[in-house]
Structure 1
Amino acid sequence: MQNLGIAITGSGSAVPKNSLDNQGLMQFVETTDEWIATRTGIRQRRLANPGESLKDIATSASQKALAMAGIEPQDVDLILLATSTSDDLFGSACQVQAALGADQAVAFDLTAACSGFVFGLVTAAQYIRTGVYQNVLLIGADILSRWIDWEDRRTCVLFGDGAGAVVLQANQSDRLLGFELKSDGTQNGCLNVPYTASPRKLTEEVVVAKGNYQPLAMNGKEVYRFAVQKVPEIIDKALFHCQLTVGQIDWLVLHQANQRILNAVAERLKIPPEKVISNVASYGNTSAASIPLALDEAVRQNKIQTNDIIAASGFGAGLTWGAAIFQWGR
């Protein structure tokens, strides 16, 4: 079977209507706008109300991406939904497929937390490169507000909800130039939504567990240290694979976790601030949505142009991290 290249031909994004700024947070948690902005760069975040679903924002982002790519939902062969917060524990990708009317597409969820979009990008590329599928819709979407302890100021100030999507299509030249993915389960305790079980006795011999998930827990100092060390390293490795230098990067699109992390990574790589895409001030940390959301905004603002070389890197729970170097458009 002939190997093919890939091109990223469309992007889209969507966020909930409700916006909560730092002054709003001050009404129910002990914090200040200055404290949050200085330590994170975040000014506001979008939060889904009880009537808004992951399926809704993922579908909206997807429709915009398909429109930009110029293809119909029926043309999509595969839908990958990178998320940790599906509406259904069994996954939401099939719900998005139905909502789009993409009745020819196979659909499944992929969970790699804040690294999900980069892991999904690499996964999607393999299906296209081997000739199995021609058109893949990749979505990164999360509603982390469902799993936040809104009395814990260490975490509740950081996260927001959103969705971003891209269309990948078979192409004569391969626009995914290089990538590197990593995982380290020994550090899982640094960032997780832990499962706890309460026993339920069915018979004298059989006891099962009634499952519950606790709110998101994070060791902020360890995650910061991990990101600042590992992200520059993995971008360097991805660049090595495609025989490019840092100086050839047009745009750095990192997972939008914290402005201080973005600044530190760029500084270590010696990438000037004007090449760093950042919208963390407006949306906070939207997990798997953050890279495609930032990417889509930059494309629609005409910052990112066809043939621009983009270094994208995600990092987060698992712990997982990864980088992908790609050129925008055909």
Structure 2
Amino acid sequence: MRILGQGYYIPERIVMSEEVDFLAGVKKGTVLKKTGIRKRHYADFRDKETTSKMGKYAAENAIKNAGINKEDIDLIIGANATKEILLPCSASLIQKQLGLENNKTACFDVGSSCLSFFTALEVADMYLKAGKYKNILIVSSEIASIGINYEHIESAGLFGDGAAAFIIGNGGNSPVSKFQTFSEGFYYTSIPGGGTRYLVKDYNENNKSDYLFHMEGSKAFKLIKQKIDDFFYEFLEENDINMTEIDRVVAHQASMTGLKLIGKQLNIADEKMINIIAEYGNMIAASIPFTFAYGVENGLIKREDKILIAGTSAGISIGMMVLEY
């Protein structure tokens, strides 16, 4: 597997933490103090910046950076938690946005919330090994702002919107990875409504919180803290990886607390960790690929660098991967 090119897109609207304070009806400075996030971007999702349009913009940048024609893409993987519509898959909307509807490109989605891009990389690597596809487009495009519960101050200031895309092809080394889910924390981060348990047609003003993001942050953090140390060190030992070999760490920008936990557990020097959450917030599945693409664009990641990707997601899942850029 080799990363041929990458790109990202950020919505035009900038939302400072003071605006989130106002939307949440709390004292000025509360959100910044609780989250450490100064600003984030919200999409104009009703027209200009839909999930698929943002994904298209990111994909076009990735295609350009990869130096290929869009017609060379033979598989599109949608890797996002939020969906523009429930059916069909997000990848098919990206195909249509790119004008590839008659290109016989295969399309499907993978969904592991914040680790969806991570999972898509694993799937892409397996397909490339099998010789099934040659140029795979992975797109993570998220409009997290639509599901924010402003009555829940713990999570209201965490999220931002954005999209990132990667072109994956042959010519490199397969990554090593580890992924585990601890479903005892299933309800700690969730959106209960919208599926077959709480139907969309039953939505009303009295139960609207069931259709917004729900987080029990302290419980989620406690569970992750219990599991993450053994998980990380098992991964390093199983794959004979020395952290001194790692050039950069691309972690899911979940929260300031989460980034500090990953840094502490892995004893990562601050200069190796790409930390941009204060300026962009948590972009769910777009967080990891956006941070990666941002690192490349800003000279933090160079060719042949060894990159460690790490993160957690709803479920609760933990994922870790080492690859060569």
**TM norm structure 2:** 0.90
Instruction: Decide whether the 8 Å contact of 1:239 with 1:325 is kept in 2.
Output: no
Alignment of 1:118 with 2:118, yes or no, is yes
Instruction: Decide whether the 8 Å contact of 2:193 with 2:200 is kept in 1.
Output: no
Alignment of 1:9 with 2:4, yes or no, is yes
Alignment of 1:45 with 2:40, yes or no, is yes
Q: How many residues of Structure 1 are paired with residues of Structure 2 in the alignment?
A: 313
1:185 aligns with 183
> Deviation of residue 196 (structure 1)?
6.7
1:220 aligns with 217
Deviations 1:51-102 (A, max 9, x none): 2210011111111111111111111111111112111101221010111133
Instruction: Decide whether the 8 Å contact of 1:81 with 1:138 is kept in 2.
Output: yes
> Deviation of residue 10 (structure 1)?
1.0
1:137 aligns with 137
1:173-322 superposed matches below 5 A: 173-174=172-173, 176-195=174-193, 210=201, 212=203, 214-322=211-319
Q: Residues 66 and 209 of structure 1: is their aligned pair in 2 closer, same or farther, counting only changes over 3 Å?
A: closer
One-letter amino acid of the structure 1 residue matched with residue 38 of structure 2: R
CA distance in 2, matches of 1:211, 1:77: 40
One-letter amino acid of the structure 2 residue matched with residue 14 of structure 1: Y
Q: Residues 57 and 198 of structure 1: is their aligned pair in 2 closer, same or farther, counting only changes over 3 Å?
A: closer
2:16 aligns with 21
Instruction: Decide whether the 8 Å contact of 2:20 with 2:31 is kept in 1.
Output: no
Find the residue that maps to 1:239 and give its secondary structure: helix
Instruction: Decide whether the 8 Å contact of 1:80 with 1:138 is kept in 2.
Output: yes
Find the residue that maps to 1:226 and give its secondary structure: helix
Instruction: Decide whether the 8 Å contact of 1:310 with 1:327 is kept in 2.
Output: yes
Instruction: Decide whether the 8 Å contact of 1:75 with 1:104 is kept in 2.
Output: no
Structure 1 segments unaligned to the other structure (5+ residues): 1-5, 200-207
Find the residue that maps to 1:311 and give its secondary structure: strand
Larger mean CA deviation between 28-37 and 131-140 belongs to 28-37
Q: Residues 81 and 30 of structure 1: is their aligned pair in 2 closer, same or farther, counting only changes over 3 Å?
A: same
Larger mean CA deviation between 103-112 and 208-217 belongs to 208-217
More strand by percentage: 1
> Deviation of residue 226 (structure 1)?
3.2
One-letter amino acid of the structure 1 residue matched with residue 104 of structure 2: Q
1:167 aligns with 167
CA distance in 2, matches of 1:189, 1:239: 29
Structure 2 segments unaligned to the other structure (5+ residues): 204-209
CA distance in 2, matches of 1:197, 1:8: 35
Alignment of 1:147 with 2:147, yes or no, is yes
Instruction: Decide whether the 8 Å contact of 1:41 with 1:260 is kept in 2.
Output: no
**TM norm structure 1:** 0.88
Find the residue that maps to 1:71 and give its secondary structure: coil
1:205 aligns with none
Residue of 63, 73, 78 corresponding to 2:75: 78
One-letter amino acid of the structure 2 residue matched with residue 84 of structure 1: A
Instruction: Decide whether the 8 Å contact of 2:18 with 2:31 is kept in 1.
Output: no
Instruction: Decide whether the 8 Å contact of 1:165 with 1:292 is kept in 2.
Output: yes
Residue of 46, 53, 56 corresponding to 1:56: 53
CA distance in 1, matches of 2:192, 2:200: 15
Find the residue that maps to 2:268 and give its secondary structure: coil
1:204 aligns with none
> Deviation of residue 34 (structure 1)?
4.6
Q: Residues 327 and 101 of structure 1: is their aligned pair in 2 closer, same or farther, counting only changes over 3 Å?
A: same
2:128 aligns with 128
> Deviation of residue 230 (structure 1)?
3.6
